[in-house]
Amino acid sequence: MVHLNRRLAKNAGLYDLWVFDVDGVLIDTSRSFPLAIARAVQHYGQLYGYSWPLPSLSDVLQFKRYPGFNNDWDLAEGLLFYHLAQESGIKRGLAAFLEESGAYAAGKAGIEKYLRERWPGRDVWVLERMNAELIRELAMEHYAGEELFQRYYNRPPMFKIKDGTACLEKPLVSPALLEQLPGVKGIYTGRIGPELEVALELVGFQGWDPDCLFYDRGNGPRKPDPEPLLRMAEKKQPAGLVYFGDSYDDLLTLEHFRRRSKVPAEFVQIFADPDVRPFDENESWASTTSEALNEILRLCGARHPEKPHRKTPEGRLSAEGKTRQQDCLR
């Protein structure tokens, strides 16, 4: 399923800065991160003596429809909050739980405030059993597995989980079609540097602009902060920007950018669940399949083939550019 809104369809040749989220956009993570989170929550329950069934992947993906859960480890905390709330006697369906807590604030902060104000007493019970560091550790280990964990996080794993779900990931986009997009290609992701390095190896495209690679360095902006998009626009002075993302925070990032920049900007939502409606019917979207994603890249990049591409010969970064790209990931 592919849809280009009227603005992007009519003015595709205007845009020359293309920014991509990684998970669920460049790479199919429909099983890796959701399955790691589900396994982590079940594992956590076992450590505390609860016999929880494995959460469904659709339950995990529901969190992506709400602000504050772009980061998968934050999402793991949110799902654990929900299961502990159920154990405390708060019998709400997940959709109602997310709707009601989201009315208080975005993400984990909204859940904590919701529990405190709506369920006094039970909030204490939940918080006493909530160990944020442990659930994040479990999620990271179930994702990376023992072999990749050391590379990603530069320390040995605590639980030594042999097989991680990262091995289930596969690229979604054609490097050739990325190259055909006219102009600059950048990334704004919540991955840390080593995770992004592995992801870029998997995608196989070498033409990312080193000035436009933004990832989690521990103390920088996080979505929905549009600062990385604003910096890219300031450096590259594009005629227009298109941002591809899969979470509600991605949409908010683009909306915040629009409020602070005069650069024309469009959002393309990528979603794995065919039952999910677009966050905003006025934006563009595609399903998380290679066919749909590559089709929307064709629609964006092939409309004005006469427009010169900003690239070195053969569409590759120069040696200096490759070095800068590698340096920025360290």
Position with higher pLDDT, 301 vs 118: 118
pLDDT at 317 over 90: no
Nearest to 19 by CA among 231, 170, 165, 201: 231
261-277 residue pLDDT tens: 999 999 999 987 666 77
Residue 136 token pair = 């994040």
Position with higher pLDDT, 157 vs 301: 157
Which residues touch 243 (CB under 8 Å, ≥6 apart)?
Answer: 19, 20, 21, 188, 229, 250, 253, 254, 257, 265, 266, 267, 268
SS3 content of the chain, % helix, strand, coil (to 5): 50, 10, 35
- Least confident range of 145-149, 165-169, 204-208, 290-294: 290-294
Angle between helices 132-153 and 32-47 (to 10 degrees): 130
Domain boundaries in the chain?
A: 2-29+169-328, 32-166
| Distance in angstroms (rounded) separating the CA atoms of residues 122 and 157 | 33
Please state, for a pLDDT cut of 70, what percent of the chain lies above it: 90
305 pLDDT band (50/70/90 cuts)?
Answer: very low
Instruction: Specify the pLDDT at position 329.
Output: 44
- Least confident range of 31-35, 41-45, 74-78, 297-301: 297-301
Q: Which H or E element spans position 152?
A: helix 132-153
97-132 residue pLDDT tens: 999 999 999 999 999 999 999 999 999 999 999 999
Q: What pTM was computed for the model?
A: 0.83
Instruction: Specify the pLDDT at position 307.
Output: 41
Average pLDDT over residues 44-50: 97
Domain 2-29+169-328 in this protein, CATH class: alpha beta
| Number of C-beta neighbours around residue 245 at 10 A | 29
Q: Which H or E element spans position 287?
A: strand 284-287
Sign of the torsion angle spanned by Cα atoms 43, 49, 54, 60: negative
